[in-house]
Structure 1
């Protein structure tokens, strides 16, 4: 720990090596969490075939799984704000690994057991919220002006774990499904997540959370004068040692929670329809073969990774809020063209890829923007909440699609109503949030640094 003077504690400076290690590990954690998530959606037709489930029953199954994922995903917030950012990263990544391993038992457990198992994937999905909270603090505490200037672009490399995870899922399915079966694919998927969860113990905790921890220690032993001096030197308030989930619905946090929470819920409609159930949509809307649908998913997710880099770069220059909104509105328009366009293979590839570029790419801004938008004491809860409620959109889209299909509807109509339209509406919802900040942390490592208030 570095000392400003003999009476004032300061958090240790963040080194470039610590930032590099945290960035790489956060990328791997998210890529393997997505790997598990997309693998299940990709193999759902095969699992459904073995279980004797038709399309409507499969959609109903996904609905109940999504409900469980939301409930368990909310557990990440209290862990992050109470025990730390690196503990949260390890907890959520381990959840994804356990979900993968247990899914291999799908053939021998009842349907309700599979629902319980897949509910653990909600922890993996919340990992992106942990990344946003943790890395926004770590980058903000850096003394390197290059990191501060390009922090959104750097984070886009981390959030780019989504298409990488999707590519891994598609590639593993194509290679291993004929050899190991779908159960073997899930067992293989569990290993990297569990390894990353163990490596998370070596992460540097963020200076902001270290400061909150120090304040809690002083308050717990009744050292009120020292606590006041610490708050004065770091630009903190005494109440920053305490937080609850209700705090994200109060004061300045309320607008952020409502706008970004609603935007994420609405955007999960197209994520569920075009990404998680992408193979199902392509097979049913354009009669693409299952093997060709995997090729389309592979190619489109390569394009999506470029979307992450592009949106992260633009977010640093034009504001993350505006870039997110533009991307999602455009994505909804492109997916509409894909749904009602010709079934020519390369036309479907092109439109699906561009749609994925604008649907998934803005997520390089979303979770970092969420991390910037909450104060330190509730950043973990806020980021985890916004990440966790997204699957509510998946619940609604799956339930509505199942209802429509059961009533003799088609996937063409379902994809438009519960995918393309909500995609556009999600971009509109984000416009009601506050503009992006350029520094998310109220606690800096340099002595005498001022408190940073959110932009309006």
Structure 2
């Protein structure tokens, strides 16, 4: 959707240039619910892995090896979601990723004991569909919101489904594990995922994707002038539409942006793995915080993370998302560094940890929307999914780096957490500054043909 000149029609070749408000609200609600249920399934496996290992008699090394293989499988599946978004459609991709999450939960609950390890390694790779639902939301809602004001702030509410999904996974696991067992917990998770996938059937496809489909058809029919004219109406570059979308994100015009954004995402996930996923270990072994207090701070900090989403979404609309993300991650790296090398007083440690989580997680509301608006329409899904797939890689690297530094430092957790997670978090903020600075079209009256439009900057 783009700004229209006064007096022009709100349709081009039968395609609406802007959806009605009711469709936008419905899309936001379904996208939020889809992200919540996908996070629920994604987090639940890690939460229940100790119980699964106990049931099958796995050693700790076996559990961690399976978790690593699952992360690799998640990354592979996530890479395949990008072309799905750009060729099958934003709406259909949301339905597929959400239904895939339900399938992942169901098959996990049906794990046969005889082949549990290889079976789970393959089945849980399907959860890469659920992890990639945020990339679908990135492409879908960026186009649905168009040039509406405060669109980054609105998107922050949807991205806030992450901490809500985490808290729901923890709560329902605690409530249901004893009566139905870990298998039952996974199988029950299938129901909400399928309900949301059904709700997705009533979603409207984005005008930009419909226009992109039509442009591809016109190009196949060698009606190039008509394709260019339609592209002009929807602010879509048509010069590379016949190339593979994965190849296009490394074309000279956007290669630097893709590389810096992917590296920033990957290095930030190293920090997340060390300080968020392995946070209890760092707090208890590195700073002497009691396990009970560490669990409490994880709950409090997840609530703080949700507020962080809203704050960074709001600030990103005003000063630009690139600077908001970079600044937040640099502050997070500084907070974690101060926490590690500062006093061991529990109140001080927990305060700095919460500040760190606020600024490392919160910018993802701005980041995911930035990913959508910084790639052109023709590769928006592929670009967002490729960058998103760096998350599992960062998680694997984060665990490996922390283990390596602990080994060579004689189990010095403070130094190891800084060298692995602290420096990586700071570096991620610096790398963000190497990405393209995309101007929000709501901050300047930009017309589709203007060189300053978001699409023009991304092509």
Establish whether TM, by shorter chain, passes 0.5. Answer: yes
Please point out which of 40, 43, 46 is paired with 2:45: 40
**In 1, Cα distance between equivalents of 2:64 and 2:417:** 13
Which of the numbers 445, 453, 457 marks the counterpart of 1:454? Answer: 457
Counterpart in 1 of 2:86? Answer: 81
Structure-2 separation of matches of 1:121 and 1:157: 23
> 1:145 — aligned with what?
none
Residue 237 and residue 305 in structure 1: after superposition, are their counterparts in 2 closer, same or farther (change >3 A)? Answer: closer
1:25 corresponds to: 30
Change (3 A) 1:428 1:222: closer
Cα distance in 2, alignment partners of residues 182 and 152 from structure 1 = 37
* Superposition TM-score, scaled by structure 2 size: 0.86
Larger CA deviation: 64-73 vs 116-125: 116-125
State the SS of the aligned residue for 1:436: coil
- Displacement after TM superposition at 1:39 (Å): 2.2
What residue in structure 1 maps to residue 435 of structure 2? 433
Distance change >3 Å, CA 349–CA 190, structure 1 → 2: farther
**Which runs of structure 2 are paired with 1:287-306 in the superposition (5 Å)?**
293-306=294-307
Distance in 2 (CA, whole Å) between partners of 1:236 and 1:7 is 13
Q: Is the 8 A contact 2:218 2:224 kept in 1?
A: yes
Using structure 1 for the length normalisation, give the TM-score. 0.87
The Cα of 1:389 is off from its aligned counterpart by: 1.8
User: Cα deviations across residues 172-199 of structure 1 (Å, max 9, x unaligned)?
Assistant: 2333333333333322333222222222
- Distance across 1 between alignment mates of 2:343 and 2:185: 34
Q: Distance in 2 between matches of 1:422 and 1:177?
A: 36
Q: 1:198 to 1:275 in 2, by over 3 A?
A: farther
The aligned counterpart of 1:127 is 133
Q: Deviations over 1:265-291 (max 9, x none)?
A: 001112223333445545554676766
Deviation for aligned residue 1:149:
2.3
- 1:436 offset after TM fit, Å? 2.8
Conserved in 2, the CA contact under 8 Å of 1:327 and 1:427?
A: yes
Instruction: Give how far 1:305 is off.
Output: 0.3
1:111 aligned partner:
117
* CA pair 299-101 structure 1, distance change in 2 beyond 3 A: farther
Aligned to 2:151: 151
Q: Which residue of 1 aligns with 2:313?
A: 312
Aligned to 1:201: 201
| 1:372 positional shift | 1.0
Among 137, 140, 164, which residue is 2:143 paired with?
Answer: 137
Answer yes or no: is the 8 Å Cα contact 1:42–1:277 preserved in 2. Answer: no
CA contact (8 A) 1:133 1:380 kept: yes
Aligned 8 A contact 2:237 2:376 in 1: no
Where do 5+ consecutive residues of structure 2 fail to align? Answer: 1-7
CA 87–375 in structure 1, closer or farther in 2 if over 3 Å, else same: same
1:386: which partner in 2? 387
The Cα of 1:383 is off from its aligned counterpart by: 0.7
What is the CA-CA distance between 1:208 and the residue it aligns to?
A: 0.8
Q: How many residues align?
A: 444
Write the distance in 2 (CA, Å) between the matches of 1:6 and 1:112: 52
Q: Which residue of 1 aligns with 2:97?
A: 92
Instruction: Map 1:186-197 onto structure 2 (within 5 A).
Output: 186-197=186-197
CA 1:351–1:39 in 2, change beyond 3 Å: closer, same or farther? farther
Q: Distance in 1 between matches of 2:412 and 2:102?
A: 35
Matches within 5 A, 1:49-448: 49-53=54-58, 57-105=62-110, 108=113, 109-140=115-146, 148-224=148-224, 226-239=226-239, 241-244=241-244, 245-282=246-283, 284-285=285-286, 293-339=294-340, 346-403=347-404, 409=411, 412-439=414-441
Distance 1:292 1:220, change over 3 A: same
CA contact (8 A) 2:232 2:449 kept: no
416-425 or 312-321: bigger deviation: 416-425
- Shift in Å at residue 300 of structure 1? 1.2
| Unmatched 5+ stretches in structure 1 | 143-147
Contact 2:159 2:309 (C-alpha < 8 Å) held by counterparts = yes
Question: In 1, distance between residues paired with 2:15 and 2:111?
Answer: 51
Contact 2:208 2:234 in 1 (8 A): no
CA RMSD in angstroms, aligned pairs only: 3.1
Q: Give the whole-Å Cα distance in 1 for the aligned partners of 2:55 and 2:416.
A: 25
Compared with structure 1, are the counterparts of its residues 403 and 254 closer, same or farther at alpha carbon in structure 2 (3 Å cutoff)? same
Q: CA deviation at 1:118?
A: 2.0
| Distance change in 2, residues 1:26/1:411 (3 Å) | farther
DSSP 3-state at the match of 2:239: helix
Once the two structures are superposed, residues 328-374 of structure 1 have per-residue CA deviations (whole angstroms, 9 ceiling, x without a partner) of 11212222344455666555543332221111100001011011111
